[in-house]
Homo-oligomer: A and B are copies of this chain.
């Protein structure tokens, strides 16, 4: 009963097999391996973006920080949600990689609204050389609270950015989970709306440790390569990154993994709702924030269920509601979910 995060489950068997298969003889290092050529072609195909620049790194923070560092100057600022991973969970990596740029938080909740974004960007305009210069808008899809921006919401955000001439970065650590939730194509969720750069996650959806960074306009490709190397994120034995991503994108493996995770999470949410739980955010993908009585949490805790208590301590009035964060990855089983739900019901 592990629902603490989708960064802790096993690697997809198909990805493991691809690693084993890649482990034969010699391959040119540093991204010149032939598997990478295939990855690049496949991502361009999936995104219907034949010119896109495509690179691999091993962590989501590297993908985000390196992508943003090519989009913002050190005297600029990145617009993002107050709960964005780049703000809360990367220990200043975006500030580090950008040479000291700022993150400007768009007031509001989890999801940015176009109005709040517009107002925030507009406000940043009045100080000339004294304030930071406007830089990219970074949108997280799936958000850090498990929400999925609808396409028209994304379009509105991209529209605001475009109006101000600012590039758009999409933190897609859970890109596939959002995609299958929306039932749209990668192009429809990105460049067709005005997204310029994507952190395309693999790790949380069944890879060992690989993320792609995609620039639809390859103008900054070389700069990205230099920043990746300077950041110590260029792998010598790069073929093992390539092999993961190649297997991940083979056929529908990546979409099926995301569908499995989302379906598991929906089962969990439905069961919780039936048991009387409420949700801090409407369940949409593979992460939920549920509120139910402390007594149930104690039962789960004592049975070894793993998840984060989000709001309220484990000790206290048994009847009082406490909130938790629950995440499913591709490997979540119905049996575990049902066992979890049974414990909730008590």
Contacts and interface: CB of A to CB of B under 8 A. Distances in A.
A92 B102 contact: yes
Contacts of A227: 75
Contact of A132 (B91, B204, B232): B91
A247 B243 CA distance: 21
Contacts of A92: 74-77, 100-102, 132, 230
A226 B66 CA distance: 18
A23 B7 contact: no
Nearest to A12: B23
Contacts of A99: 74, 96, 99-100
A116 to B, nearest CB: 15
A131 B11 contact: no
Contacts of A150: none
Interface string A89-131: 1111101111111110100000000000000000000010111
A231 interface: yes
Nearest to A236: B7
B232 A93 contact: yes
A162 interface: no
Nearest to A95: B100
Given A75-B91, A100-B92, A236-B209, A129 B229 contact: yes
A252 interface: no
A278 interface: no
How many chain copies?
Answer: 4
A339 interface: no
A72 B233 CA distance: 21
A19 to B, nearest CB: 7
A246 to B, nearest CB: 15
Nearest to A59: B232
A181 to B, nearest CB: 22
A20 interface: yes
Contact of A101 (B58, B88, B95): B95
Interface stretch (A24-32, A151-159, A269-277): A24-32
A239 B178 CA distance: 27
Contacts of A24: 10
A229 B16 contact: no
A342 to B, nearest CB: 20
A225 interface: yes
Contacts of A103: 102
Q: Which 8 residue pairs across A and B have the least CB separation, nearest first?
A: A7-B236, A62-B232, A95-B100, A61-B232, A2-B26, A99-B99, A96-B100, A75-B226
27 contacts: A4-B26, A5-B29, A5-B236, A7-B29, A8-B26, A8-B237, A10-B23, A10-B26, A16-B19, A57-B232, A59-B234, A61-B229, A61-B234, A73-B223, A75-B229, A91-B129, A92-B102, A95-B100, A96-B99, A100-B100, A129-B226, A130-B229, A203-B236, A203-B237, A208-B240, A232-B233, A233-B233
